[in-house]
Structure 1
Amino acid sequence: MQQTMEPVEVWTGPSGMPERLVWRSRRFRVDDTPTPLVGPADWWLPFAGGESGAGRAPLAITGWRFQASSEAGESHVFDVGHDGAHWHVLRVFD
């Protein structure tokens, strides 16, 4: 596993799930069903310090995990995230 914050280009479908990406000048096509990575919703952070209610903080999709393969047969599992402006590779599993 490599941890990174490299920029990556990601193309998503109508549902927002990744379908293709270009990483390190190589094209990859997502070849499984992406799994959402979740974390506390950004809008909740100002309230996180107070115990204003029961339960846990609301969750939001913070990124995606999926396997993708190149035409040359190179495959990796990618964790990607979006910072509001750009996509980044968070981790790569070989």
Structure 2
Amino acid sequence: MPQLQEFVEIWTGESGEPQRLVWRARRFRVTDRPTPRVGPAEWWQPFAAHDVSPGREPLAIAGWRFQASTDDGETHVFDVDHDGTRWLLLKVFD
């Protein structure tokens, strides 16, 4: 499935997990436990060329995958990332 690269509005809880989403003027509520999408920690970038044997580079939450539904039953699985200021919708699975 191609990446969408659309900006969306997301409300999160105290732990940072998504709770609600507005996509294409539709309101969705998260209906499952969001799964973190991890990637290399940003602070590690200056050291990325160094060998970290026997471990691996530190990881951080880069975004989330979660299922969300509208009040009338429309349901999708969403992949989202945060660019530092806004939420970016990467993929939608039906």
Which secondary structure state, in structure 2, belongs to the residue aligned with residue 3 of structure 1?
coil
Match of 1:75 in 2: 75
Query: How many angstroms apart in 1 are the aligned matches of 2:28 and 2:83?
Result: 21
How many Å apart are 1:72 and its aligned residue? 1.5
Rounded to whole Å, the distance in 2 between the matches of 1:7 and 1:52 is 35
> What is aligned with 1:58?
58
Please name the residue that 1:41 is paired with: 41
1:23 corresponds in structure 2 to: 23
> Which residues of structure 2 form unaligned runs of 5+?
none
| Cα-Cα RMSD | 1.1
TM-score using structure 1 length: 0.95
C-alpha separation between the residues in 2 aligned to 1:41 and 1:3?
A: 22
> Unaligned stretches of 5+ in structure 1?
none
Distance (whole Å) between structure 2 residues aligned to residue 88 and residue 17 of structure 1: 15
CA distance in 1, matches of 2:52, 2:23: 43
Contact 1:2 1:93 in 2 (8 A): no
Please tell me whether the aligned partners of residues 2 and 92 of structure 1 are also in contact (alpha carbons under 8 angstroms). no
Q: Is the strand fraction higher in 1 or 2?
A: 1
Q: TM-score, normalised by structure 2?
A: 0.95
Identity of aligned residues (%): 66
**Runs of 4+ in structure 1 displaced over 3 angstroms?**
none
Displacement after TM superposition at 1:52 (Å): 4.9
> Aligned to 2:57, what secondary structure does the other structure show?
coil
